[in-house]
């Protein structure tokens, strides 16, 4: 990211700034930063199967939705690869 003290920085007054372009740039930079911070050695995320108590890899299920509970915890709704029924689980890992 360029600094305002960099001689190549082109200052745009706020009244002339395009907020859509500015926010798109910020979101793109945040996305790039998140991708760089991912740990390749981290354990894969798992979900608990209600039908048999097993933990399965997050990527092996057909996810339907994610909701935030009243306690602020993310709950994942998915189709169980074992019994083909709808389950809901916390993410582990």
pTM confidence score? 0.49
Tens of pLDDT, residue by residue over 82-92, are 899 998 988 87
Distances (CA, A) of 1 to 17, 32, 91: 18, 12, 34
Tens of pLDDT, residue by residue over 20-30, are 888 888 888 88
Share of residues in the chain with pLDDT > 90 (%): 6
Q: pLDDT at residue 41 above 60? A: no
Domain map of the chain by residue range?
46-92
């Amino acid at each position: 990211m360029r600094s305002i003290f960099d001689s190549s920085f082109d200052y745009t007054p706020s009244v002339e700034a395009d907020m859509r372009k500015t926010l798109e740039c910020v979101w793109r930079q945040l996305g790039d930063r998140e991708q760089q911070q991912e740990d390749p050695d981290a354990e894969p995320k798992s979900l608990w199967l209600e039908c048999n108590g097993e933990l399965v890899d997050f990527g092996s299920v057909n996810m339907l939705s994610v909701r935030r509970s009243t306690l602020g915890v993310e709950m994942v709704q998915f189709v169980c690869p074992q019994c083909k029924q709808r389950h809901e689980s916390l993410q582990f890992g």
